Structure formats: C-alpha cells, structure tokens
Structure 1
C-alpha cells in the first residue's frame, strides 16, 4: 500500500518498474480508476497539491521500485531550478492529457474498445493485472470482461 484513503499525499513518485493501481473502496467492491506503469509518475496529486486527505487508495499490484520526492523537495525544486519547474510542468501536462484521453474514451468508446486499447498500449504488462482490476478500470463487471475476452480470442 502506497497511500491509504484519509492520508495526505506527501510524495510524488516515479515508477522505475512495476504496476500501480488507484482505487476507491466501496462497501462490496473496489473501483479501480487508474493503472500506472513503469516510467511514469504517480501520486495522489489532488491531495499532494491541496494538502488534504486522499479519498482513494494507491497500491502496487506487482513488485515495484519507486523513486520519491517529498512535497517540500518538490517545492524547493520548483523555486530554485528552471529544470525542476520544466519537469514539473511537463509531468503535469502529461497527466492532464492522459486524464482527458481517458474521459473521452469513456464517452466515445465501447468497453471492448477500451479493453483493446489497453491491450495495445500495455500488451505484456496487462497479463500481470488481475482481471477484476481490469474490468473495474474499463468500467464493466468481471463477467462482462470474460465475455469480451471470449469474443475476441
């Protein structure tokens, strides 16, 4: 577990290797809303920026190696270095574009298309993610995902 619901995010992290999932715990289920892979930044950015408690959990789902910077270190980098400011801006822009892409996919694509896109983008890594997490991530039940997988195989 990287961050539990109710904790304030103290770090921004870079995944050297592994897979991380973000999820919202509900009474009888968990809703996975983000999967992040190696060579990407992770963190509860809303909590990190506002210094308010997170409303979701972040956990690793495979063995993972992270590089972390504290909130204070990030603020120092922004304040004292142009390169730190540039990296922060580029990471934020990338995160924004990924969120927009995901929202548009939920509005325009079928569940099958979302699954096929995930397979195309992360073919090897997707094999390491439990099916219930994939189903939740693309917004369907595990049973519906099983039907999709049978249909396309």
Structure 2
C-alpha cells in the first residue's frame, strides 16, 4: 500500500466511525445550550405541575414511561435562599420504597433533577414526587403525582 492509499483508508474509516456515532447525543448536547432547551417557568404551559407559595414543581415531559428517564424542575419566584431537605419519588397506593432525587441548580431560582420510575405488575400503580423544602425558616412539602402511562 502506498502512503496515499493508507491516508485514504484512514479517512474512510474515520468517516464511517463518525457516521455511525449516536446522533441523539450530539443533538442533545447542542440543544442543552440553546434557548429552546431552557425549562418553562409557567405552570400553564405544562400539564403536570404544582404551584404553591411561590414554588413551582413540574415535569419536563407530559408523558412518563416506566424505566425511562425524565426531568423534574423546581422554580422559586422569591429570591430567598432555598434548601431541598428531602427529594424522592414514592408510591401513592403501594409501598414500593422510594427513589431518591438529586437536584442541581440551573440558575438562581431554578433546579433540575432526573427521575425514573419502575415497572409494576399491576396497572394501577401510582407514583408521586415529594419534596421537603426549607425557605427562610419555613418548612414546605410539595407533592406532584406522576402521570401513569
């Protein structure tokens, strides 16, 4: 093989490798930086949300499927310091234990966590998100039922 053929072979291999890569990852990474990825702060735009005393809790997806990751957002209208003491997904009608949630700060007043619910043998299993929050010596509990699919 000549040097030219080797270079051509390497070029073809690199093109094949990039063409076969997971395009969802590339789209996801670039879309996170776009304005359309920013979470909506208006509860009316989302069908599954809960607003109480300046706090809004909502799901990033209108449809949640078992064993598929989904986003959970928390927004505070107040500029007061906010501490999430406990965050979990738990069963409403059955004791299935709980799934811990870990929120990270997106902006001054907005937080995001990833959630996942398991598959249940019965069709009537219902899940909810439960947050215990401290905000300037006020303790608040927020719950939001996760829509079943």
Instruction: Give the TM-score taking structure 1 as reference length.
Output: 0.27
Instruction: Give the TM-score taking structure 2 as reference length.
Output: 0.28
User: Which structure has the larger Rg over C-alpha atoms?
Assistant: 2
- The structure whose residues are more often strand, as a share, is 2
- The structure whose residues are more often helix, as a share, is 1
Higher RCO (Cα < 8 Å, 6 or more apart): 1
